[in-house]
Structure 1
């Protein structure tokens, strides 16, 4: 990864315009504008990120932060046999699951209800204090969502990037839950630790890095200034998002627009709040708690944020897990290769339902 790309993502995923302006690549703006107006975009009419849930609710985290939750019932109106909870990643929100929330409720064997929520400080959820902007707290938030929306029946947890880390944190905190209720887990484009060892260079994730620390201090002291500078580089940030979030295949401009919108809605202050916890994340030992579950580990082979080697490490700790390498996909594989990813998730759900049924028979 080129140095300016590293700075753009790690020193401000969303501060791309701040960093990019200093690097001086605005000359590409005309070409970028052309890319954004593709008349043949197959997703131009998809209404990305605008699907309506069957139910909105707010769940209070244990520190009082309100978490915005959505629920989607089986499309045919039948009784759901299990609940699938989708947990999004860093600097995103629940809209990143557009295709999975659209397609998983269509399953009839088994029928599923889908629960999505915005992580603290992301999307429509409440803002967290910096001390509570940790992966440990995200695990507790997931627990709160489960207690409020999935009180009974088998559960499948699907986590992308930081969402996968939240699932690992919950497994560390409540291993019994993964023996009794969580029958399957999907870990997409995520890591069990050493995020900075490959992909994001470690110095940029360190709280001691002067650029990262300086950006955080500036965002805390002059948030309006940072956001104004960031917005000034709109075309540039779109290009950086396209480059870092997706692989080498042709990507729908509408998909990049959605990604850019989600990132743009997350302030630089929030991004820097979570950098320390991402850099110190180490939950390889917590993976042992997933050995009672069906596990899918999936990542794109062109992921620049958490390269496929991170998925191989996770699968190495879980020898019975299914490891999937998605060709030519970047960090946002569930958008970029949504048909394939949803197909693997549907197969996981079917295995989970079969496991839950077998365990119920064995206990009766």
Structure 2
């Protein structure tokens, strides 16, 4: 009886706090909220001859074969593989590693381009991180960058056990590649022919901007929301749905550099984020805050490496890409003016061109042969 009364009191306090916060926020942002709701529902322009695909085409992608990869701790990771055209031998396996709060669909334009090249000779592998997308929910203790590096290793052992590799990582996906390099530097000396690090960081992610606030250990709101989400997930998800338009506005502001980006592109990212449980996302806060793998970068020294960032990225600013480039003087650094964090969606033509050049370099045997001779 006493315990039930305690739960009711706690629930009342939480409800009161949320209610007061919601009321106060509503007074200050009502006009903005209404404007966001209208902007969100403006039909997207379908004439995209000079731009990305129309919303109606979002599902038109090369078909992949579904796979289930078992991580070393038993967590199931959802994946897909696209094989090269019939009769052609794959020279490379390209593995795409998505970022925090997203899923493998974020590689939409890259999957479309590389999966439909008539002379494409690469196998494409896409997968969802643990607790993201269609992958299995994992324990909080296992939601670390180090474990994501181990998960990538499991994906490679299962879906690409031999042959040359190109690893493409965005944001937390790039950090996962660094964690793999920290774990298995010999893999990069022997098999990894190319690496693309998009809008990512080797450390000090929480030094400024939105991450500086969200990832801080002193952020009471983040900790409170995380605790509440673990205790009352339905309550938090209902609250999240109620402020969906506001979250959509934040997504537009922080995912893209162009504030006039088509609403359907914002919807695309917003949908991916919304399908991930709040408490699952909060599980990764500490690992993002403590990520530091500058020391792992030398493993990429002799690998064809592309480092790409947007100079309007408000989540992981361009200077993080410059830090990585300073550690890898032989890498190609690409700066995209006016582009935000979701570069592969905001400016897919430029990203695809850079990736295509990377694949062409990685397909040349000279670099691999040179390393083998040196090792011999």
Please report how far the alpha carbon of residue 253 of structure 1 lies from its aligned counterpart in structure 2 after TM superposition. 1.6
Aligned to 2:25: 23
1:35 is aligned to 2:36: no
The 10-residue stretch of structure 1 (100-109 or 256-265) with the greater mean CA deviation from structure 2: 100-109
Q: TM-score if structure 1 supplies the norm length?
A: 0.89
Query: What is the alpha-carbon root mean square deviation over aligned residues?
Result: 2.3
Of the three residues 211, 227, 244, the one matched with 1:217 is 227
Question: Structure 1 residues 19 and 190 mapped into 2: Cα distance closer, same or farther (>3 Å)?
Answer: farther
Higher-Rg structure is: 2
Aligned to 1:9: none
Local SS of the residue matching 1:200: helix
Local SS of the residue matching 2:276: coil
1:359 is aligned to 2:369: yes
1:117 is aligned to 2:117: no
Aligned to 1:189: 199
CA deviation string 1:234-282 (max 9, x = no partner): 2221111111100126312221111010000011101110000000000
Local SS of the residue matching 2:307: strand
Question: Structure 1 residues 196 and 254 mapped into 2: Cα distance closer, same or farther (>3 Å)?
Answer: same
The 10-residue stretch of structure 1 (68-77 or 230-239) with the greater mean CA deviation from structure 2: 68-77
CA deviation string 1:320-343 (max 9, x = no partner): 111111111100000000011011
Aligned to 1:159: 169
Query: Aligned partners of 1:83 and 1:272: how far apart in 2?
Result: 32
Q: TM-score if structure 2 supplies the norm length?
A: 0.87
1:150 is aligned to 2:149: no
Local SS of the residue matching 1:131: helix
CA contact (8 A) 2:339 2:347 kept: yes
Aligned to 2:64: 54
Q: Which consecutive residues of structure 1, in runs of 5 or more, have no partner in the other structure?
A: 1-17
1:276 is aligned to 2:278: no
Aligned to 1:229: 239
Higher relative contact order (Cα pairs below 8 Å, separated by 6+ residues) = 1
Query: Aligned partners of 2:326 and 2:261: how far apart in 1?
Result: 31
Aligned to 1:320: 330
Question: Structure 1 residues 219 and 102 mapped into 2: Cα distance closer, same or farther (>3 Å)?
Answer: same
Query: Aligned partners of 2:153 and 2:215: how far apart in 1?
Result: 27
Question: Structure 1 residues 51 and 108 mapped into 2: Cα distance closer, same or farther (>3 Å)?
Answer: closer
CA deviation string 1:175-233 (max 9, x = no partner): 00000011110000000000011333535313343222111111111110000000011
Aligned pairs for 1:291-302 (under 5 A) are 291-302=301-312
Local SS of the residue matching 1:71: strand
Aligned pairs for 1:84-123 (under 5 A) are 84-107=94-117, 111-123=121-133
Aligned to 1:176: 186
Of the three residues 286, 292, 299, the one matched with 2:296 is 286
CA contact (8 A) 1:294 1:352 kept: yes
Would you say how many aligned residue pairs link Structure 1 and Structure 2? Answer: 347
**4+ runs of 1 displaced by more than 6 Å?**
18-21
Query: Aligned partners of 1:20 and 1:340: how far apart in 2?
Result: 41
CA contact (8 A) 1:158 1:185 kept: yes
1:252 is aligned to 2:259: no
Question: Structure 1 residues 109 and 20 mapped into 2: Cα distance closer, same or farther (>3 Å)?
Answer: farther
Aligned to 1:4: none
Q: Which consecutive residues of structure 2, in runs of 5 or more, have no partner in the other structure?
A: 1-19
CA deviation string 1:132-153 (max 9, x = no partner): 0000000000000000111111
Question: Structure 1 residues 254 and 19 mapped into 2: Cα distance closer, same or farther (>3 Å)?
Answer: farther
Please report how far the alpha carbon of residue 105 of structure 1 lies from its aligned counterpart in structure 2 after TM superposition. 2.5
Query: Aligned partners of 1:336 and 1:290: how far apart in 2?
Result: 27
Query: Aligned partners of 2:280 and 2:58: how far apart in 1?
Result: 24
Query: Aligned partners of 2:24 and 2:234: how far apart in 1?
Result: 18
Aligned to 1:137: 147
